[in-house]
Amino acid sequence: MSDKGRLAGKKAIITGSGTGIGREIALEFARQGADVVLHYAHSSAGAKSAVKEIEDMGRKATAYAADFSKVDEVIDFGNKAIKFLGGIDCLVNNAGITFNMPIRKVSVDQFEWMYNVNIKAQYFLCQRVIEELTKKNKPGQIVNITSIHGVSGAPEHSVYAGTKGAIIAFTRSLAMEVGHKGIRINALAPGCVPVENYSKVVKDFNLEDQKKWAANAIPVGHYGTPLDIARVAVFLCTEDSRYILGQTIVVDGGTTNLMSLISDFRNESTAHFGTGYLPGV
């Protein structure tokens, strides 16, 4: 494979890349010329098959397991990844877990587990990568994956949304701290992107029903794919985005822009506000 690509010669770490969005981000980074270290928490099959695909592209790749509820494993993973790559240019903090529960039923252990994996792991892996980039006096890019749950509300998601909102806040502040060093940090907030886990947690889930639902519920008329998210992550790690810093890029087909009070955005409204005092209404 040619080294030409938007990320040619880059060295990238992608966490939570055994399945779904993370796996596709890892593959897209490789398609764009990067060498990649993948991370997985449990099953190795998806990450290892992605490694094989990346190696077949002519890129360098490996995958390491780490329990991101434990900071020592997060740091150990970062050390191994940087050593394997011989340096670091890009980090995509995709690893995270989701959870819904009415607040009255949430346990302390559940709360702490969510914050350990979704926030503490991201934060301290950022610390390790920034340390490496600063030591080598190198520019770099970090993309922290958050969610539209961090910018809009949904019942029973108070713990999950709290972690995703925290990602947005620490991304913004950290970017102000290290941006002058050439280290650009941004966040990426996906909307509805069906992945393997949907079929495990949603009763009778199938993509055809999801497609019909999305056509009516999402302003752009369809749900997103992991590749939609991966392409934005690539963009945030290229010079094309060199003037973007500390921002949260929402990739949701317009979901968070739509007011919940609007019942049907596809048809012309039958209500005519302004009648009697605005010309022509």
Question: Cα 266–207–95 angle (5° rounding)?
Answer: 100
Strand 183-190 relative to strand 90-93: parallel, antiparallel, unpaired? unpaired
* Catalytic member of 64, 160, 223, 243: 160
Nearest CA to 186 among 242, 148, 137, 267? 242
Under a CB-based contact definition with an 8 Å cutoff, are residues 125 and 88 in contact?
no
CA end-to-end span of the chain, whole Å? 62
Instruction: Based on the residue annotation, tell me whether 243 is a catalytic residue of this protein.
Output: no
CB atoms near residue 125 (< 10 Å):
26
Q: Which of 77, 98, 97, 81 lies closest to 89, judged by CA?
A: 81
Pairing of strands 35-40, 11-14: parallel
Q: Are 59 and 85 in contact (CB under 8 A)?
A: no
Contact 214, 275 (CB under 8 A): no
DSSP 36: E
Tell me the pairing of strands 35-40 and 61-65. parallel
Helix 121-135 with 158-178: angle, nearest 10 deg? 10
User: Hunting for tokens 């650009």 — which residue is that?
Assistant: 184
Q: What whole-number distance in Å separates Cα of residue 237 and Cα of residue 91?
A: 9
List residues with catalytic annotation. 160
